[in-house]
Amino acid sequence: MPTPQPNPFRPSFGVSPLVLAGRGDLLSGFPLALLEGPGSPLRTMLVSGPRGSGKTVLLNELEEAARTQGWIVLRAYPGADMLTDLTATEIPRALAALDEDRPARRITGASIAGLGSVRTETTEPEHRPAATLISVLRTLAERLRTHGTGIVISVDEVQSADPEHLRAVATAVQDLVRDSHDVAFLAAGLPAGITALLQHPGTTFLRRAELVTLGPVTAEESAAAVAETVAAGGREITSEAVELIAARAHGYPYLIQLLGSLAWAQASLEESAEITAGTVEAILPHAVSRMGRQVHAPSLHGMPDSQLAFLVAMARVADADGRAATGDIAAELGVAPNGISTRRRALIDADLVTPADYGFLRFTLPYLREHLLDTHA
Ligand SMILES: Nc1ncnc2c1ncn2[C@@H]1O[C@H](COP(=O)(O)OP(=O)(O)O)[C@@H](O)[C@H]1O
Ligand SMILES: [Mg+2]
């Protein structure tokens, strides 16, 4: 066996994959939106999806596209200091970086060159006194206008941000857009967080935003990404193995990386130059349990007992595709069919389950059924 090649898959959160599956429309639309002008709807994007659906990766790619066009990216991090970080650190830093490109220095004193003692003084940035988010953003936007570029403000994990902070950022963005400045606003978060953001009074401007729901990628897109990633890593993979990974990933980006990574490692263990369907079969149980620990356990954490009981009952009566009749769930819980409607609603809002055909629910993410059966035998 030649020296083992490094694993080209990236099964961790917030890390861009070597090869992106799908999302092409979004990625090609954004650079156009930046060049189109302040009216373009894609300049305000709210990205919603469950953990592992690729929100952070998408944000990173959109930010990168903006930087390529010379735009400045300001990241707002949810937390107590979100606004002061932007106003007092991030934006001044961006302004200082612009100053470095073209030093803000003028010559004072001697006006005749060669007479010695030429004194220089650095001008104090005039945005220092009483800086507010809007005022510093406006200064930055005006400076960038001369460069023909603009500002992207991005917020990841919006569900963890203080709604008042988000309102302040949204108001500032709206203010600048109204003055025809080039500003884009990108936010990503769990569906409940995006819904809350839209319902918050004072962020009505965001209701015109492009709402991007990161659903599953297609089997073809998954398969292409797997095949290209393996090839880039310098290994062989059979077409059956590619299709098996695509099928078992159910279009869920984290699973594409996880299944690929484990299959790659298994092939190394077997000292095989090729990933086969057998290699993939061998790692499926590991993938399912890792998915449970990395994705399902965190999303069930702190959930009310009654909702957890609902999910466990649903797992027991669901078919292998994670689909269950609500009547069966109620019967399993030993309550009347109308006795589960509150919990059903709460779990749909939390995006853990999705209404299927009339009277049916299914688990939103792959392998939640397996995880619940494993942990609540
Ligand atoms: N379009 C994609 N194609 C393939 N893998 C992806 C894609 N988007 C994300 N991933 C992978 O999925 C995992 C989760 O992505 P991440 O952006 O962190 O999800 P989220 O922010 O929604 O929780 C990472 O391992 C990442 O490399
Ligand atoms: Mg993320």
Q: How does pLDDT run across 277-332, given as a tens digit for each residue? A: 999 999 999 999 999 999 999 999 999 999 999 999 999 999 988 999 999 999 99
Q: Determine which residue's CA is closest to atom 15 belonging to ligand 1.
A: 54
Residue 69, token pair as written in the block: 């066009």
> Among 118-132, 171-185, 245-259, 331-345, which stretch is predicted with the lowest mean pLDDT?
118-132
pLDDT category of residue 38 using cuts at 50, 70 and 90: confident
| 227 pLDDT higher than 90 | yes
The CATH classification of domain 302-375, taken from the options 3.20.20.70, 1.10.3720.10, 3.40.50.720, 1.10.10.10: 1.10.10.10
CA distance 88 to 111: 36
Average pLDDT over residues 25-51: 91
* Strand pairing report for 360-363 and 353-355: antiparallel
Average pLDDT over residues 33-49: 91
Q: Which residue has the higher pLDDT, 239 or 163?
A: 239
Phi, psi of 118 (to 5 degrees): -90, 120
Substitution candidate for ligand 1 out of 7, 13, 19, 58 with most atoms within 8 A of CB: 13
Ligand 1 touching residue 56 (CB < 6 A): yes
pLDDT of residue 169: 94
Ligand 1 touching residue 18 (CB < 6 A): no
For residue 331, the one-letter residue type is A
Nearest alpha-carbon partner for 215 in 240, 191, 241, 199:
191
Ligand 1 touching residue 225 (CB < 6 A): yes
- Give the pLDDT confidence of 162-203 residue by residue, as tens digits: 999 999 999 999 999 999 999 999 999 999 889 888 888 877
pLDDT of residue 4: 64
pLDDT of residue 117: 44
Q: Determine which residue's CA is closest to atom 9 belonging to ligand 1.
A: 54
Average pLDDT of the chain is: 90
Average pLDDT over residues 73-87: 95
pLDDT of residue 115: 40
Residue 155's DSSP bridge partners are 76, 187
Q: How many A from CA of 205 to the centre of ligand 1?
A: 29
Q: Which residue has the higher pLDDT, 368 or 117?
A: 368
Q: Are 241 and 280 in contact (CB under 8 A)?
A: yes
| 1 pLDDT higher than 80 | no
Residues ≥6 apart with Cβ < 8 Å to 348: 354, 355, 361
| 121 pLDDT higher than 60 | no
Ligand 1 touching residue 54 (CB < 6 A): yes
- The environment of the single-atom ion ligand 2, i.e. residues with CB closer than 5 A, is 55-56
pLDDT of residue 357: 87
Substitution candidate for ligand 1 out of 257, 264, 290, 364 with most atoms within 8 A of CB: 257
DSSP category for residue 152: E
CA distance 287 to 289: 6
Percentage of the chain modeled with pLDDT above 70: 91
CA distance 40 to 132: 26
> Where are the domains positioned within the chain?
24-109+117-213, 219-297, 302-375
The CATH architecture that domain 24-109+117-213 belongs to is 3-Layer(aba) Sandwich (3.40)
Ligand 1 touching residue 57 (CB < 6 A): yes
Percentage of the chain modeled with pLDDT above 90: 78
| 223 pLDDT higher than 90 | yes
pLDDT of residue 197: 86
The CATH architecture that domain 219-297 belongs to is Orthogonal Bundle (1.10)
pLDDT category of residue 367 using cuts at 50, 70 and 90: very high
| 110 pLDDT higher than 50 | no
Q: How many A from CA of 120 to the centre of ligand 2?
A: 47
Residue 98 to residues 64, 74, 150: CA-CA distances in angstroms? 18, 14, 12
Q: What is the per-residue DSSP string for 78-116?
A: PSTTHHHIIIIIIHHHHHHHHHHHS--EEEEE--STTSS
